[in-house]
Amino acid sequence: MSLENLLLDRDGAVAILTINRPPVLNALNSATLDELRRAVLDVRHDAAIRVLIITGAGEKSFVAGADINEIAALRPAQGKEHARQGQHLFELIENLGKPVIAAINGYALGGGCELAMACTLRLAANTARLGQPEINLGIMPGYAGTQRLARLVGKGVALDLLLTGRQVEADEALRIGLVNRVVPRESLMAEAKALAAEIAAKAPIALQYIIESVNRGLEVSFDQAQFLEATLFGLVASTDDMREGTTAFLQKRKPQFSGS
């Protein structure tokens, strides 16, 4: 696959996708969104990849949002279409079937914050700054930022961030639950790779079903969510990895999960 705006690297069972437009702080134009969709689909279908890390190129930025040059030129009907495309892509990332770790190396603003929120886990450098500044441009988030932010940090804090457009530093992002962990900037990628390797050694089907159970379960009634969880439990309890995991525990050895 030829990629102009992304880098896709492999490190064992971990793939690393780097948004690579440093002159515009890795802003997402349509070409980049399109490449991201193709790269993410490739990762989805490659069973040897167990975990995906998404990060940004350069020292300053994860992703500084949608490309404002393109946003400025949108006509009304195009705006809706643009938002729907972004929403579909981020939904694909949220439900990729394997864990996705955002390694937030700097600004994660607008579409960048929305991209990070679509990932399964968020690891932030202590220099990271996150926010939804769309209101300052006279617009609003369009890649499901109003929805994922409210679900992650609660309605009150989400409305504060969405209506003021203010940026939060890494420590505040951690306190409000917008990121999972904060690490020194210089060790961000090492920490992201270590976390990815730790998760990559676990049973892939169980990982997939846990993510599905949380994501889908939050969108339906508690009763339906419990039913979904029990159904997925039934499936995971029929896997080879269930037998391996339980046998390894009883034999006091480390499990070797095959993904079947």
Tell me which residues touch ligand COA (CB under 6 A): 24-25, 27, 64-69, 71, 107, 109-110, 133-134, 137
Confirm whether 114 is a catalytic residue: yes
Q: Given the complex with ligand COA, which of 6 and 200 has the nearer CB atom? A: 6
Sign of CA dihedral 204, 207, 209, 212: negative
Q: Given the complex with ligand COA, which of 28 and 232 has the nearer CB atom? A: 28
Confirm whether 191 is a catalytic residue: no
Give the Cα separation of 178 and 92 in Å (integer). 20
Query: What b-and-e string marks burial along 245-255, b requiring 16 or more CB atoms within 10 Å of the CB?
Result: beeeeeeeeeb
> Would you say 101 and 119 are in contact if contact means Cβ atoms under 8 Å apart?
yes
Catalytic residue among 114, 172, 219, 229: 114
Catalytic residue among 59, 94, 134, 169: 134
Q: Given the complex with ligand COA, which of 110 and 204 has the nearer CB atom? A: 110
- Minimum CB–partner distance for residue 110 and ligand COA (Å): 3
- Minimum CB–partner distance for residue 184 and ligand COA (Å): 21
Q: Given the complex with ligand COA, which of 143 and 209 has the nearer CB atom? A: 143
- Minimum CB–partner distance for residue 133 and ligand COA (Å): 4
- Minimum CB–partner distance for residue 158 and ligand COA (Å): 16
Catalytically active residues, by annotation: 114, 134
